[in-house]
Amino acid sequence: MTEKRFLPTDIDSSKELAWNKLKEQALYLVHHELREKQKLHDDATVAVLNDYDSMGPKAFLQQLLTFSLVLGTLKNRASYKKMQAYFAELFRYGISRISGNALDTISVKRDAIKFVIDGKSTLIGSVDNELLTILSLAKESRETQLKLKAVSNLVEQRNTENLQSVSAVFKIPIYDAGRITLLIDKLFDSQGNFIRRHFEPMVDELARYENHAFELLWSYFKAIQGRVNRIAFLNALQHLISRINRPKHALRFLLADFCCNPKEIQPSDRNAIMLSNILLRTYNKELDVDIEMTPEEVLNVRNGLDKDVVHYAKFRIDSVEYRFPAKVQAIHEKLVERMYATIPDAQAPSIRYLLYLEREIFIFLSLLSGKTAHRILIEALAEYGDPKAGLYRHLRTTTYLSVFLQHLKVIVRGVGRVGTVDDIDLLKQVSGRGYQLSQIDSSPETKRAVARTMEWIDNVIRSISTERLQCA
pLDDT at 5: 47
- Give the DSSP letter of residue 3: P
Model confidence at 245, pLDDT cuts 50, 70, 90, reads: confident
64 found inside a domain? yes
326 found inside a domain? no
67 found inside a domain? yes
Top mean pLDDT of 108-117, 254-263, 359-368 is at: 359-368
Does pLDDT of 35 surpass 60?
Answer: yes
Q: How does DSSP assign 124-137, residue by residue?
A: E-S--HHHHHHHHH
CA-to-CA distance for 446 and 356, rounded, in angstroms? 19
Does pLDDT of 57 surpass 70?
Answer: yes
Does pLDDT of 1 surpass 80?
Answer: no
Range 234-242 average pLDDT: 83
312 found inside a domain? no
CA-to-CA distance for 251 and 259, rounded, in angstroms? 12
* CB-CB contact of 226 with 267 (8 Å): yes
Q: Report pLDDT digits (tens) over 404-433.
A: 999 999 999 999 999 999 999 999 999 999
CA-to-CA distance for 311 and 245, rounded, in angstroms? 17
CA-to-CA distance for 182 and 439, rounded, in angstroms? 57
Number of domains in the chain: 1
Backbone angles phi, psi at 442, to 5 degrees: 60, 15
Q: Report pLDDT digits (tens) over 249-281.
A: 899 999 999 988 888 999 899 999 999 998 898
Percent of the chain with pLDDT strictly greater than 70: 92
Q: How does DSSP assign 65-123, residue by residue?
A: HHHHHHHHHTTTSTTHHHHHHHHHHHHHHHGGGS-HHHHHTEEEETTEEEEEETTEEEE
CA-to-CA distance for 365 and 374, rounded, in angstroms? 8
pLDDT at 10: 35
Phi-psi category of 229—alpha, beta or left, where left has phi over 0 and alpha has psi -120 to 50? beta
Residues contacting residue 162 through CB under 8 Å, at least 6 positions apart = 150, 153, 154, 156
CA-to-CA distance for 220 and 154, rounded, in angstroms? 9
77 found inside a domain? yes
Q: Which of 286, 278, 169 lies closest to 219 in space, CA to CA?
A: 169
**Cβ count near 11 (within 10 Å):** 16
Distances (CA, A) of 175 to 37, 158, 178, 180, 181: 55, 14, 5, 9, 10
Q: Using a CB cutoff of 8 Å and minimum separation of 24, what contacts does 180-183 make?
A: 180/206, 180/209, 180/212, 180/213, 180/216, 181/154, 181/216
Average pLDDT, the chain: 87
* CB-CB contact of 251 with 311 (8 Å): no
185 found inside a domain? no
Read off the amino acid at residue 457. Answer: I
List the domain range (segments joined by +) for residue 55: 13-127
Q: Report pLDDT digits (tens) over 122-145.
A: 998 888 888 998 898 888 889 999
Backbone angles phi, psi at 272, to 5 degrees: -60, -45
CA-to-CA distance for 453 and 334, rounded, in angstroms? 26
Q: How does DSSP assign 137-179, residue by residue?
A: HHHHHHHHHHHHHHHHHHHH---HHHHHHHHHHHT--HHHHHH
- Give the DSSP letter of residue 38: H
pLDDT at 321: 62
Does pLDDT of 13 surpass 70?
Answer: no
Does pLDDT of 356 surpass 90?
Answer: yes
CA-to-CA distance for 209 and 180, rounded, in angstroms? 8
* CB-CB contact of 352 with 26 (8 Å): no
366 found inside a domain? no
55 found inside a domain? yes
Model confidence at 109, pLDDT cuts 50, 70, 90, reads: confident
CA-to-CA distance for 161 and 158, rounded, in angstroms? 8
